[in-house]
């Protein structure tokens, strides 16, 4: 049992291997060495935890569907119906956008996006920014 003066070097080496460990590309002695160090080293355990959450996030994105967070639909509907109220106040300016009911069409698009992939979910978030920008145009 000896102290390890070159700990930072060991940590660098270990943390450099974490992505490979997560990807299942590390085997045998290399894997054991990394895991053993992580067991003893809080810094590297921390790095591994971060790596794991990144990895989990990537795995989720790779899947075909992501469940939207609870309450997202309610939030969206609230946003769109709020838009509807404001739309009434600024009818002449909004007429050119998307016909008579911008609130309704936005909700329709949102439902379609939620039903599709995680990419759609990301686009939906971007879409909200677009919607609020449009809302400002009228005022």
CB of 41 to Zn ion, least distance (A): 3
CB of 26 to Zn ion, least distance (A): 16
Structure token digits, residue 3:
């102290």
Site for Zn ion in 11-50 (CB under 5 A): 11, 41, 43-44
Q: From residue 120, how far is each of 15, 59, 63, 90, 94 by CA, in Å? A: 34, 17, 13, 30, 26
Nearer to Zn ion, 14 or 79 (CB): 14
CB of 18 to Zn ion, least distance (A): 10
Residue count, binding to Zn ion (CB under 5 A): 4
Nearer to Zn ion, 11 or 33 (CB): 11
Q: From residue 51, how far is each of 21, 60, 65 by CA, in Å? A: 10, 14, 22
Closest CA to 37 of 50, 27, 46: 46
CB of 59 to Zn ion, least distance (A): 25
Nearer to Zn ion, 2 or 139 (CB): 2
Nearer to Zn ion, 41 or 113 (CB): 41
Site for Zn ion in 98-117 (CB under 5 A): none
- 88-97: Cβ within 8 A, 24+ apart: 90/138, 90/139, 93/137, 93/138, 93/139, 94/138, 97/134
Binding region for Zn ion (CB under 5 A): 11, 41, 43-44
């Amino acid at each position: 049992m000896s102290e390890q003066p070159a700990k930072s070097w060991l940590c660098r080496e270990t943390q450099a291997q974490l992505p490979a460990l997560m990807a299942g590309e590390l085997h045998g002695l290399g894997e054991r060495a990394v895991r053993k160090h992580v067991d003893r080293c809080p810094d590297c355990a921390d790095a591994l935890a971060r790596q794991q959450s990144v990895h989990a996030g990537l795995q989720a994105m790779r899947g075909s569907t992501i469940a939207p967070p609870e309450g997202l639909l309610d939030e969206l509907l609230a946003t769109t119906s709020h838009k509807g109220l404001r739309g009434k106040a600024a009818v002449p300016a909004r007429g050119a956008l998307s016909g008579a009911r911008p609130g309704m069409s936005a909700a329709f698009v949102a439902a379609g996006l939620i039903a599709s992939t995680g990419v759609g979910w990301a686009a939906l978030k971007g879409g909200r920014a677009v919607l609020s920008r449009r809302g400002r145009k009228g005022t």
